[in-house]
Structure 1
Amino acid sequence: MDINDLRSIVTVAGLLCFLGIVGWAYGKGAKKGFDEAANLPFAEHDDQGAKSSTSHPR
């Protein structure tokens, strides 16, 4: 076994990991979770007493 065999094994392992991630991202159950995560910035906060970090009293 030389370095080229090791490179081939690492390339195939990387391809399999990539295909696994693509399969997970485009799977049937992932859409609902991704839609919820995409709408998180627009969700209202329940913290009534929290101050905005952008307002500065002067």
Structure 2
Amino acid sequence: MDIGTLRGIGTLIVFLAFIGLFAWAYSGKRKASFGEAARLPFADDDPEPRP
């Protein structure tokens, strides 16, 4: 095995990890969890304006 083969295997592993992360992030099961996390910065806001 030479260095080119090792680099090719490393590239393939990183590419597969990227595809897995992409599929995890855009899966339908995670939508509710990500929606809840997106609303967290606004959780402490007052619902009524102050006079």
1:24 alignment partner AA: W
Give the CA RMSD over aligned residues. 1.2
> Matched residue pairs, number?
45
Residue of structure 2 in register with 1:11 after alignment: 11
Kindly indicate which of the two structures has a greater share of residues assigned to helix.
2
Q: Which runs of 5+ in 2 are unaligned?
A: 46-51
Identical-residue share of aligned pairs (%)? 49
Larger Rg: 1
**4+ residue runs over 2 A deviation:** none
TM-score of the aligned structures, taking structure 2 as reference length: 0.83
| Larger relative contact order (CA 8 Å, sep ≥ 6) | 2
TM-score of the aligned structures, taking structure 1 as reference length: 0.73
